[in-house]
Amino acid sequence: MILIARAPARINLGGDGTDLPAYYERHGGSVVSATISYYVYTILTPGPSHDVQIISADPRALCHKSACDDLLWSDDLRLPKAITYHFNLCEGLTVFLASQVPPGTGLGSSGSVAVAMIKALAFWCGLDLGPRQVAELACYIEIEKMAMPVGKQDQYAAAFGGLNCIEFSRDGVSVEPLRVSPETHDALERGLMLFFTGGSRQSSTILQRQKQASQQGDGDTVRALETIKEIGLEIRAALEEGNLDVFGKLLHQSWMEKRHLTEGITNPFLDQCYQTARDCGALGGKVTGAGGGGFLLLYCPEDCQKAVVDAMTTLGLQYWPFSLDAKGVQVMEAVSWSRQHAPHHVSLVMEGSRVGAGE
C-alpha cells in the first residue's frame, strides 16, 4: 500500500516579487516561471494504529501525531503540520517527505512541498484535484491560514508545470503557457545554468520587508516592482519571438533592479560570483527566489559555458545541470490499496470558493 506524488521546483525568469498580494492587489502582478527537473516527493503509506506520522528526509524534522492529541512539531514542519490539520486526518498514516533541493535556496521548495502533499492527501481521500484546485488550496493554507509573507507563483508553477506567464490580480490568478517554438525551448534549456552557492537563507525576512514597503506605498519599492514587471513582459516577448540574446540581457536588467528592492537580496560574495560569470560570457542571471543565497541562475551561450563552470567551481559553487519540466504535480504511483472515501471531516473549503473533485 503506497502512494507517491511529486511536484517540481521552479525558476523565475521575470517579474520577481510582483506575485506578493501586498503588491498585486493594488497594481497587478505578472511573472514568467519555468519548472525544472528537481522534485519534492510525498510518499503515503498506512501507519500503525490511529496515528499520523510525518517523517522528513531532513533529519532535523520529525513529528508524530496521535489521533486525538495535539501536535508537537518542529519549526521545520510547520507547513506539513498545517496541511495535515486542514485535511484533519485521524487514521493510521505515515507521510514521508523528500526533496531533491535544499530548503531555503530559492527554487520554491515550500510551494512544491505544499502542492505535492495536497495532491497526495486529497487522492488518498478519494479526491483527484486538478492543478488549479491544488494551487488554490496551497496558497490558502500558506498565505491565509499560516500568514506566511509569500507570493503565489511557487504554488501555481509547481501545480501546473511548464514555461508559463502567471498573472495575479484581486480577481484571481491566470496561467498562460508561453508560445515558444520547440527550437527556442531546447535552446533556452541548453543556455540556462544553475549553480548552488552552498548556503540557504530565511526568505521570509526579505519578503516581509518587501511586503511592508509595498503596503506602506514606498515609492522606490513600487517603482522598482513596476520596472521589474515591465521587464518581465519584455522577457516573455523575447522568448516567444525566439530572441534569446535579448532574453539574457533582459534577465540582467531585471536582476539589477531587483537587487535594490530591499536589504539582504545580495551580498559581496554573490555579486562577485555574478560579475565573474558575466566576465566569462554569461549574458544575464540572478540569485533565485527572494535572494540572499541559494542558487545562482545564469543564461549563457554554449561556447562560454565551460569557462563559466570552471570559474564558478573555483569560487566554490556547485554546478547543477537540469532540464525543463512540463508536467507539474502528479501522482506517480498508487499501488495495492483501496481508495478511501473522502471523510466528512475533510475540509477543502476556502473563503469564497469550494475545492472538490471534478471542479
Written in H, E and C, the secondary structure of 12-53 is: EEECCCCCCHHHHHHHCEEEEEEEEEEEEEEEEEECCCCCEE
3-state SS track over 143-192: HHHCCCCCCCHHHHHHHHCCEEEEEEECCEEEEEECCCCHHHHHHHHHHE
pLDDT at 108: 92
> Are the CB atoms for 59 and 117 separated by under 8 Å?
no
pLDDT at 58: 65
> Are the CB atoms for 81 and 155 separated by under 8 Å?
no
Residue closest to 341 by CA, chosen among 358, 355, 329, 357: 357
In this predicted structure, the answer to whether residue 106 has a pLDDT above a threshold of 70 is yes
More confident residue, 39 or 92: 39
More confident residue, 72 or 235: 235
In this predicted structure, the answer to whether residue 193 has a pLDDT above a threshold of 80 is yes
Considering 16, 19, 154, 325, which one is annotated as catalytic?
A: 154
pLDDT at 212: 54
pLDDT at 77: 80
pLDDT at 358: 38
Q: What is the dihedral of CA 204, 354, 27, 238, to 10 degrees?
A: 90
Three cell numbers, residue 255: 536582476
> Are the CB atoms for 42 and 30 separated by under 8 Å?
no
> Are the CB atoms for 279 and 268 separated by under 8 Å?
no
Cα(332)–Cα(326) distance, integer angstroms: 15
pTM to 2 decimals? 0.86
In this predicted structure, the answer to whether residue 115 has a pLDDT above a threshold of 90 is yes
Task: Find the range with the poorest average confidence among 88-92, 108-112, 301-305, 336-340.
Answer: 336-340
pLDDT at 339: 45
Task: Find the range with the poorest average confidence among 89-98, 178-187, 236-245, 248-257.
Answer: 89-98
Confidence band of 239 (pLDDT split at 50, 70, 90) = very high
C-beta atoms surrounding 91 within 10 Å: 15
In this predicted structure, the answer to whether residue 354 has a pLDDT above a threshold of 60 is no
Identity of residue 269: F
In this predicted structure, the answer to whether residue 315 has a pLDDT above a threshold of 60 is yes
Q: Is 271 an active-site residue?
A: no
More confident residue, 358 or 307: 307
Cα(217)–Cα(226) distance, integer angstroms: 13
Produce one character per residue of 11-40: b if its CB has 16 or more CB atoms within 10 Å, e if not: bbbbbbbbbbbbbbeeeebbbbbbbbebbb
Cα(340)–Cα(342) distance, integer angstroms: 6
Q: Quick one: angle between helices 182-191 and 244-258, nearest 10? A: 50
* Tens digit of each residue's pLDDT (9 = 90 or more) over 13-69: 999 989 999 899 999 999 999 999 999 999 999 977 677 888 887 644 444 443 333
In this predicted structure, the answer to whether residue 317 has a pLDDT above a threshold of 80 is yes
Residue whose entry in the numeric block shows the C-alpha cell 536582476: 255
pLDDT at 173: 97
